[in-house]
């Protein structure tokens, strides 16, 4: 799904850049900000967002790959920012078997990542569009809760939790509508446990908005 959409996204961004993108330039260099972003995580090319199956002895309903981020950032140079990312992505699966009961499987991924963002355009640029590249890493907590009810009188609950280190590389764009407010489109490629084939490694695309505050004073030459 993501690979099919990406060419249209790049064409749209190129059109905006070609038009000048000067709706609201950053006349004030803000020192800090926060981003709230919804996201879709393409876990190892598993593109199904919602799954519904119905056989004579088995009903399955599942949804997942959606989540969100809370990101705090602080400017450390004219074009460089330090970022703290707090995220959560989840999946839920429910299976009903006519002859053997029900199963509920809930899994979640909680990353806490420290990163560095670098604006492509110079700080003196007055465009409202600010593309950037980013990279970072940190712990990814994997959690899974499984409930099995073979009959009405019994149930079994299993909880697994494990932490992996990993990293991400990516980029995106801020579209400033005011000196204190911007829209944000972001894309990251996550490598969990430093393994691109890990079950949760994959491409992630998000969209959200940012609030900015403070005034950055460049260091005196």
Give the domain CATH number at 92: 2.40.160.20
**119-150 pLDDT tens trace:** 999 877 778 899 999 999 999 999 888 888 77
- Classify residue 74: in a domain, yes or no: yes
Residue 108 in this model has a pLDDT that exceeds 90: no
Least confident residue range of 9-18, 85-94, 161-170: 9-18
For residue 208, the model assigns a pLDDT of 96
- Classify residue 200: in a domain, yes or no: yes
- Classify residue 219: in a domain, yes or no: no
Range of the domain at 40: 2-213
Residue 117 in this model has a pLDDT that exceeds 80: yes
pLDDT bracket for residue 44 (50, 70, 90): low
- Classify residue 220: in a domain, yes or no: no
Residue 61 in this model has a pLDDT that exceeds 80: no
Residue 186 in this model has a pLDDT that exceeds 80: yes
For residue 127, the model assigns a pLDDT of 83
Residue 159 in this model has a pLDDT that exceeds 90: no
Q: In whole numbers, what is the pLDDT of the chain averaged over residues?
A: 82
Q: How many domains does the chain have?
A: 1
pLDDT bracket for residue 18 (50, 70, 90): very low
pLDDT bracket for residue 27 (50, 70, 90): low
Q: Write down the pTM of the prediction.
A: 0.76
- Classify residue 13: in a domain, yes or no: yes
CA atoms within 13 A on the CB side of 189: 10
pLDDT bracket for residue 21 (50, 70, 90): very low
- Classify residue 221: in a domain, yes or no: no
pLDDT bracket for residue 102 (50, 70, 90): confident
Q: Which residue has the higher pLDDT, 158 or 133?
A: 133
Least confident residue range of 34-43, 45-54, 109-118, 179-188: 45-54
Least confident residue range of 53-57, 116-120, 147-151, 164-168: 53-57
């Amino acid at each position: 799904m993501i690979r099919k959409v990406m060419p249209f996204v790049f064409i749209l961004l190129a059109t905006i850049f070609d038009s000048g993108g000067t709706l609201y330039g950053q006349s004030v260099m803000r020192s800090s900000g926060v981003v709230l972003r919804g996201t879709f995580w393409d876990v190892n090319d598993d593109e199904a967002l919602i799954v519904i199956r119905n056989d004579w002895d088995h009903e399955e309903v599942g949804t997942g790959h959606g989540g969100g981020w809370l990101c705090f950032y602080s400017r450390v140079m004219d074009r460089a920012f330090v970022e703290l990312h707090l995220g959560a992505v989840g999946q839920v699966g429910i299976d009903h078997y006519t002859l053997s009961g029900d199963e509920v499987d809930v899994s979640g991924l909680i990353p806490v990542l420290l990163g560095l963002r670098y604006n492509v355009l110079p700080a003196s640029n007055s465009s409202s569009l600010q593309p950037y590249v980013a990279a970072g890493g940190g712990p990814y907590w994997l959690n899974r809760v499984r409930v099995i009810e073979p009959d009405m009188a019994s149930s079994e609950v299993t909880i697994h939790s494990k932490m992996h280190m990993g990293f991400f590389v990516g980029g995106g764009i801020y579209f400033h509508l005011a000196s204190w407010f911007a829209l944000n489109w972001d894309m990251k490629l996550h490598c969990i446990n430093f393994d691109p084939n890990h079950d949760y490694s994959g491409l992630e695309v998000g969209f959200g908005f940012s609030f900015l505050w403070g005034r950055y004073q460049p260091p005196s030459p």
